[in-house]
Amino acid sequence: MRRSPAQQAALLASPDDTEAQFYEALQHADLDHLMALWADDEEVACILAGGARLMGLTAIRTTFESLFKRGAVHVTVERVRRLVSGDCAIHHVLERVQRPGEPQQAWVNATNVYLKTALGWRLVLHHASPGSAGDVQDLVSEAGILH
Protein backbone atom coordinates (compact mmCIF):
# COMPACT_ATOMS: atom_id res chain seq x y z
CA MET A 1 0.00 0.00 0.00
CA ARG A 2 1.49 3.31 -1.11
CA ARG A 3 1.24 6.19 1.36
CA SER A 4 1.17 9.88 0.56
CA PRO A 5 4.03 12.02 1.95
CA ALA A 6 1.64 13.41 4.59
CA GLN A 7 0.57 9.91 5.66
CA GLN A 8 4.18 8.77 5.79
CA ALA A 9 5.20 11.79 7.92
CA ALA A 10 2.33 11.06 10.33
CA LEU A 11 3.64 7.50 10.72
CA LEU A 12 7.11 8.85 11.48
CA ALA A 13 5.98 11.46 14.03
CA SER A 14 8.65 10.50 16.58
CA PRO A 15 11.98 8.67 16.65
CA ASP A 16 10.20 5.85 18.52
CA ASP A 17 7.66 5.55 15.68
CA THR A 18 10.41 5.28 13.10
CA GLU A 19 12.34 2.78 15.20
CA ALA A 20 9.26 0.59 15.68
CA GLN A 21 8.72 0.55 11.92
CA PHE A 22 12.38 -0.28 11.31
CA TYR A 23 12.14 -3.40 13.46
CA GLU A 24 8.74 -4.27 11.96
CA ALA A 25 10.23 -4.10 8.46
CA LEU A 26 12.99 -6.50 9.56
CA GLN A 27 10.39 -8.88 11.06
CA HIS A 28 8.54 -9.01 7.72
CA ALA A 29 11.55 -8.80 5.38
CA ASP A 30 9.81 -5.76 3.84
CA LEU A 31 12.53 -4.05 1.84
CA ASP A 32 10.38 -1.21 0.50
CA HIS A 33 9.09 -0.36 3.97
CA LEU A 34 12.60 -0.50 5.41
CA MET A 35 14.02 1.79 2.73
CA ALA A 36 11.18 4.31 3.16
CA LEU A 37 12.43 4.92 6.71
CA TRP A 38 15.85 6.19 5.67
CA ALA A 39 16.56 9.86 5.05
CA ASP A 40 16.78 10.75 1.38
CA ASP A 41 20.47 11.50 1.59
CA GLU A 42 23.48 9.69 0.17
CA GLU A 43 25.37 10.26 3.44
CA VAL A 44 23.21 7.77 5.35
CA ALA A 45 25.19 4.85 6.71
CA CYS A 46 24.61 1.33 7.97
CA ILE A 47 27.06 -1.01 9.65
CA LEU A 48 25.67 -4.45 10.38
CA ALA A 49 27.31 -6.56 13.10
CA GLY A 50 30.54 -7.88 11.68
CA GLY A 51 29.98 -6.13 8.35
CA ALA A 52 31.49 -3.33 6.36
CA ARG A 53 30.29 0.27 6.45
CA LEU A 54 27.57 0.81 3.86
CA MET A 55 27.29 4.37 2.60
CA GLY A 56 24.27 5.60 0.68
CA LEU A 57 20.82 4.26 -0.05
CA THR A 58 21.89 2.00 -2.93
CA ALA A 59 24.45 0.11 -0.84
CA ILE A 60 22.02 -0.23 2.07
CA ARG A 61 19.20 -1.45 -0.18
CA THR A 62 21.45 -4.01 -1.92
CA THR A 63 22.65 -5.43 1.40
CA PHE A 64 19.19 -5.73 2.96
CA GLU A 65 17.83 -7.21 -0.26
CA SER A 66 20.47 -9.94 -0.01
CA LEU A 67 19.82 -10.39 3.72
CA PHE A 68 16.06 -10.75 3.19
CA LYS A 69 16.57 -13.49 0.59
CA ARG A 70 17.32 -15.70 3.60
CA GLY A 71 14.03 -14.61 5.22
CA ALA A 72 12.87 -12.26 7.90
CA VAL A 73 15.06 -11.19 10.79
CA HIS A 74 13.29 -11.54 14.14
CA VAL A 75 14.61 -8.82 16.40
CA THR A 76 13.41 -8.20 19.94
CA VAL A 77 14.45 -4.87 21.40
CA GLU A 78 15.47 -5.63 24.98
CA ARG A 79 16.61 -2.19 26.09
CA VAL A 80 16.71 1.32 24.65
CA ARG A 81 18.45 4.42 25.93
CA ARG A 82 17.41 7.64 24.24
CA LEU A 83 19.02 11.01 23.75
CA VAL A 84 17.01 13.64 21.88
CA SER A 85 18.39 17.08 21.15
CA GLY A 86 16.45 19.30 18.79
CA ASP A 87 16.04 17.58 15.45
CA CYS A 88 18.38 14.69 16.26
CA ALA A 89 17.71 11.55 18.28
CA ILE A 90 20.18 8.83 19.23
CA HIS A 91 18.96 5.45 20.47
CA HIS A 92 21.33 2.92 22.01
CA VAL A 93 19.59 -0.42 21.62
CA LEU A 94 20.24 -3.93 22.84
CA GLU A 95 18.72 -6.35 20.32
CA ARG A 96 18.06 -10.07 20.63
CA VAL A 97 18.20 -11.47 17.09
CA GLN A 98 16.97 -14.83 15.83
CA ARG A 99 16.64 -16.15 12.31
CA PRO A 100 13.71 -18.45 11.59
CA GLY A 101 14.84 -22.06 11.69
CA GLU A 102 18.08 -21.29 13.52
CA PRO A 103 18.33 -22.61 17.08
CA GLN A 104 20.58 -19.95 18.54
CA GLN A 105 20.03 -16.28 19.10
CA ALA A 106 22.49 -13.45 18.91
CA TRP A 107 22.81 -10.32 21.02
CA VAL A 108 23.56 -7.10 19.21
CA ASN A 109 24.38 -3.62 20.47
CA ALA A 110 23.06 -1.05 18.01
CA THR A 111 23.00 2.69 17.70
CA ASN A 112 20.20 4.21 15.65
CA VAL A 113 20.38 7.90 14.75
CA TYR A 114 17.33 9.78 13.52
CA LEU A 115 16.89 13.26 12.07
CA LYS A 116 13.63 15.17 11.99
CA THR A 117 12.77 16.11 8.40
CA ALA A 118 9.78 17.59 6.61
CA LEU A 119 8.69 13.98 6.03
CA GLY A 120 8.99 12.94 9.68
CA TRP A 121 11.80 11.36 11.66
CA ARG A 122 14.15 9.45 9.35
CA LEU A 123 16.94 7.01 9.99
CA VAL A 124 20.42 8.29 9.08
CA LEU A 125 22.58 5.67 10.82
CA HIS A 126 22.17 2.11 12.02
CA HIS A 127 25.41 0.82 13.55
CA ALA A 128 25.42 -2.67 15.05
CA SER A 129 28.09 -4.72 16.76
CA PRO A 130 28.10 -8.10 18.49
CA GLY A 131 26.86 -8.05 22.07
CA SER A 132 26.02 -10.53 24.82
CA ALA A 133 23.18 -11.30 27.20
CA GLY A 134 25.25 -9.61 29.92
CA ASP A 135 24.78 -6.31 28.13
CA VAL A 136 21.20 -6.24 29.44
CA GLN A 137 22.52 -5.45 32.91
CA ASP A 138 24.61 -2.56 31.59
CA LEU A 139 21.49 -0.84 30.32
CA VAL A 140 19.09 -1.50 33.20
CA SER A 141 19.72 1.63 35.20
CA GLU A 142 19.03 4.93 33.52
CA ALA A 143 21.83 7.43 33.36
CA GLY A 144 21.67 10.29 35.81
CA ILE A 145 22.46 13.92 35.19
CA LEU A 146 26.12 14.78 35.52
CA HIS A 147 27.07 18.15 37.00
Out of 39-48, 112-121, 127-136, pick the least confident.
127-136
Query: Is 141 a member of any domain?
Result: no
Query: Is 126 a member of any domain?
Result: yes
- Give the global pTM: 0.84
What does the chain come to in residues? 147
Query: Is 105 a member of any domain?
Result: yes
Provide the pLDDT for residue 22.
Answer: 97
Stronger pLDDT, 24 or 132, i.e. the higher one = 24
CATH code, domain with 82: 3.10.450.50
Question: Region 68-92: what's the mean pLDDT?
Answer: 94
Boundaries of domain holding 45: 5-136
Query: Is 147 a member of any domain?
Result: no
Buried b (16+ CB within 10 A) or exposed e, 34-51: bebbbbeeeebbbbbbee
Question: Region 69-77: what's the mean pLDDT?
Answer: 92
Mean pLDDT of the chain: 87
